[in-house]
């Protein structure tokens, strides 16, 4: 079928065959391997995005748990003391 989009060939390795078997169980109404591969790609992309979003949320929660934990470790004049002797 003519297309302007790049094409990708895929060899039915054991990993691909396994993925297609899983896809056939998930989408039994779909008979075409090419359609199953597209469905797998969409589900995989969604899963990766969700995992990334969960990781972002965990990092944000960790940062919130640390916020303010070290307040007061450095005195009020800390920066002034560090900057003493710097060229102005």
| Domain contains 2 | no
Between the CA of residue 36 and those of 7, 27, 28, 65, 79, what are the distances in Å? 16, 8, 10, 43, 61
What's the total number of domains in the chain?
1
Residue span of the structural domain in which 41 resides: 14-83
- Residue 7 forms part of a structural domain: no
Residue 19 lies in a domain: yes
Q: Please state, rounded to an integer, the average pLDDT across all residues of the chain.
A: 90
Asked whether residue 5 is domain-assigned, the answer is no
Q: Which has the closest alpha carbon to 20: 39, 5, 48, 2?
A: 39
- Joined tokens for residue 17: 């065959």
Is the pLDDT score of 88 beyond 70? no
pTM: predicted TM-score of the whole model, two decimal places: 0.59
- pLDDT tops 70 at residue 56: yes
Q: Is residue 4 part of a domain?
A: no
Q: What is the pLDDT of residue 31?
A: 95
Q: Is residue 49 part of a domain?
A: yes
Is residue 3 over pLDDT 70? yes
Interatomic CA distance for residues 79 and 76, integer angstroms: 8
């Amino acid at each position: 079928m003519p297309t302007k989009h790049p094409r990708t060939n895929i060899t039915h390795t054991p990993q691909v065959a396994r993925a297609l078997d899983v896809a056939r169980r998930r989408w039994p109404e779909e008979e075409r391997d090419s359609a199953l591969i597209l469905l797998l790609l969409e589900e995989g992309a969604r899963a990766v995005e969700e995992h990334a979003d969960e990781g972002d949320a965990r990092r944000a929660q960790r940062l919130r748990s640390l916020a303010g934990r070290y307040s007061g470790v450095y005195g009020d004049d800390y920066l002034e003391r560090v900057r003493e002797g710097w060229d102005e």
